[in-house]
Amino acid sequence: MTSLKERIHGCLAGVAAGDAMGMPTSLMSPGSIRETFGGDVEDFLPAPEGHVIHDGMVAGQITDDTQQTLLLADSIIERGIVDPRDIADRLLKWAEDIGAFDSMLMGPSSLRALHSIRSGAPIEQSGVAGDTNGATMRIAPVGIYGKGDLEKTVDAVAAACMPTHYTNIAIAGASAVAMIIGRGIRGVDDLDELLGCAMQAVDLGMTKGNTWFGASIKSRTALALEIAGRSRNESEVRTSLYEAIGAGVATTETVPVCLGMLRFANGRPVDAIRMAANLGGDCDTTASIVGGMCGAIAGIGAFPSQWIDTLEEVNGLHLERYASQLAQMPGWG
């Protein structure tokens, strides 16, 4: 039987593995991926020379998706709560340390919001237009903190989103992913139940934050699940999701597409991560999100040991230590 710590470890490993697998293919079209790599990417690879963001990165190296995920984990472990002010301070320091303000290393909503915070804007106002997937990509520790409880999870997600993504759309999308992670860590592996919980979280999340415009996450998720159910093979799923829903940085694209891949892969993290890495678009983020969800459901034992070894050797993440600390937080009874 998979333990709580093993599921948390699997969730964090899924985030990192998806991030690293999608790093070299990120911001490329499906055709460009096939042309550049000679077919599907199935293992960690270095970024191709001249990559628009990741030029020079090595095989197995993680990006801001994992860095920000562990930043939130550090905050939750040290504070014992989801503290938006502490998260904002950590994000700002991280961005300054890596030179994110003078590069393309950070997403548009986070970049705009952190510019505002650095200029003195209160965090209650800095994220009121953030609707992209940056909140969802780093939400895994908040899902772990929420432990699968709907109201606690969505409230915690809203708090975590406040500095950079305080819109109902971003909160709703991140809440869907956080609920699947929290329930998965609790041992729930029935995908229908998990997806139902995710849609409840979307409904509640849409009542939080600043009301913003955008497509319906629920309607697009229904389409993504229909695509996953009718498609004959992985290639067909990827093509249909990419063309019908999209694979950009919008939460309303990313979350439905990730839920569709979760369904088609039947919660298997390796299959889901490889699907996302070859999808096209924001590959490191979509692979990171779906990897985290599947990892929470399946646990660390579902990952090839060489993947875990490579992630630790290249990045020094200490994911097992994070899993132990998060598993020791109160309320898991």
pLDDT in tens, the chain (333 residues): 889 999 999 999 999 999 999 999 999 999 999 999 999 999 999 999 999 999 999 999 999 999 999 999 999 999 999 999 999 999 999 999 888 777 767 788 888 998 899 999 999 999 999 999 999 999 999 999 999 999 999 999 999 999 999 999 999 999 999 999 999 999 999 999 999 999 999 999 999 999 999 999 999 999 999 999 999 899 999 999 999 999 999 999 999 999 999 999 999 999 999 999 999 999 999 999 999 999 999 999 999 999 999 999 999 999 999 999 999 998 876
Rounded to a whole number, what is the distance in angstroms from the first to the last CA of the chain? 17
Does residue 333 lie within any of the structural domains? Answer: no
209: Cα separation from own chain's centroid:
20
Domain enclosing residue 271, as ranges: 4-327
Q: Which CATH number goes with the domain that contains 126?
A: 1.10.4080.10
> Of 297, 252, 288, 259, which is closest to residue 137 (Cα–Cα)?
288
Cα–Cα distance for residue pair 172/46, rounded to 1 Å: 34
Residue 207 has a CB neighbour count (10 Å cut-off) of 12
Cα–Cα distance for residue pair 301/277, rounded to 1 Å: 21
Does residue 61 lie within any of the structural domains? Answer: yes
Does residue 254 lie within any of the structural domains? Answer: yes
**Domains in the chain, number:** 1
Backbone angles phi, psi at 281, to 5 degrees: 80, -140
Q: What is the CA radius of gyration of the chain?
A: 18
Does residue 157 lie within any of the structural domains? Answer: yes
Angle at CA of residue 53, ends 170 and 84, nearest 5°: 35
